Structure 1
Amino acid sequence: MKRCASALLAIGVLWSTGSEALDLEQRRVEAMLQRMCARCHAVGRTGTSPNALATPFRYLGENKLYDPDFTQRLQDGYSSIHRAMPTARFGREDTEAVVNYLRAIQEPHTPK
Structure 2
Amino acid sequence: MPVSRILGVALFALAMTSSAMESALAASPAELRGRAFAQTNCSRCHSIDRHTPSPLAIAPPFRTLHKKYPLDTLAEAFAEGIDTGHPTMPMFTLEPDQINDLLSFLKSLK
TM range (shorter): 0.5 to 0.7
Decide whether the 8 Å contact of 1:43 with 1:56 is kept in 2. Answer: yes
5+ long unaligned stretches in structure 1: 1-19, 107-112
Q: Shift of residue 93 of structure 1?
A: 1.6
* TM-score, normalised by the number of residues in structure 2: 0.65
- Could you tell me whether the CA contact under 8 Å between 1:44 and 1:57 is conserved in 2? yes
User: Which of structure 1's runs of 4+ aligned residues deviate more than 6 A?
Assistant: none
Over the aligned positions, Cα root-mean-square deviation in angstroms equals 2.4
Aligned-residue sequence identity (percent) comes to 26
Report the equivalent of 1:27.
Answer: 32
TM-score, with structure 1 as normaliser: 0.64
What is the number of residues matched between the two proteins?
A: 87
For structure 2, the 5+ residue unaligned runs are 1-24
C-alpha spacing 1:23/1:54, structure 2 compared with 1 (3 Å): same
In 1: Cα distance, 2:57 partner to 2:36 partner: 21
Partner SS state of residue 33, structure 2? helix
Q: Are residues 82 and 62 of structure 1, via their aligned partners in 2, closer, same or farther at CA, if it must alter by over 3 Å? A: closer
